[in-house]
Amino acid sequence: MSSYDGPRIQYGIEPKSYVVDRLKDLLDKDLVILDHGCYICGRVFSSAAATRTHIKNVHGYDIPGRFNGVKRPLNKNYNYSTRIETDEYDEAHYACPSCWFHCPMDELAVFHDHTIKQHSPGCIITGSGNKHDMDMGTSSHSGYPVSLPASIPASIPASVPHSRPSSLRSTSSRSSSRSSSYQVYFSNGEEEVPSSRPSSRQVRISEDHKDISSPNEDNKNELSQKIDELRNLFHALFK
């Protein structure tokens, strides 16, 4: 039998770095990692559907989805990848969850303006006291939170969501519980704590009730006389 001294290739197992290099060599394109991001706060999600759900539930805006069954078109400059487990890539881009637009992840303002102009997010939360009003401020018809400017500067950190401090949310609950459990009155500039002793009006009312319920001496004498008369009458009848 003849022996083979050349390199042995085990089919199905290839280093990921080799796969990336081969894609770049064959297509002569930059490899771009696509991340599905939120156009308001910049958070990254695993899919376009998860991004739309986040925007709807957290920020209160509804944006359209992509057409089902349509694949991302080829690009003459980029080869796309959705998070290959390797660090060998040229750029990381925000991928729009409503169309095939993408831009570098350090350009959140560009991504934000694209979503506003092309997809016109609609406000789906109305009224007050909901999570959107607490965390993001009252929404406007154009899909901008009032707490953010009309054009987001590129220096805003993409991974930090905007929210109210927790101390402001807990102040009202603390004050209500404190007022219901302890009351303080001020008289002549001095602090007075309400006492458990009855007031003078309560004492007077209780004394009046006591006088009504207890008979006086005249009533006692009159009752005893009537009882004696009845006793004498019974003795006279049964002799």
Q: Which residues pair with 123 in a beta bridge?
A: 61
Say if residues 158 and 42 touch (Cβ distance below 8 Å).
yes
10 Å Cβ neighbour count for 72?
A: 13
Per-residue confidence (pLDDT) for residue 131, from 0 to 100:
44
pTM above 0.85, yes or no: no
Mean confidence (pLDDT) of the chain? 65
First to last CA, the chain: 152
Helix (H, G, I), strand (E, B) or coil at 37: strand
Say if residues 102 and 43 touch (Cβ distance below 8 Å).
no
- pLDDT per position as a tens digit, 168-197: 223 333 333 333 333 433 334 444 444 444
The more confidently predicted of residues 103 and 173 is: 103
Joined together, the tokens standing for residue 229 give: 């008369």
- Entry field: residues in the chain: 239
Say if residues 83 and 33 touch (Cβ distance below 8 Å).
yes
Using pLDDT thresholds of 50, 70 and 90, give the confidence band for residue 208: low
**102-104 and 44-45 strand pairing:** unpaired
- pLDDT per position as a tens digit, 84-98: 565 778 888 999 999
- pLDDT per position as a tens digit, 114-146: 999 999 998 885 543 344 433 433 333 345 443
Answer yes or no: is pLDDT of 234 > 70. yes
Q: Report in angstroms the alpha-carbon separations of 56 from 49, 123, 145, 171.
A: 11, 9, 13, 28
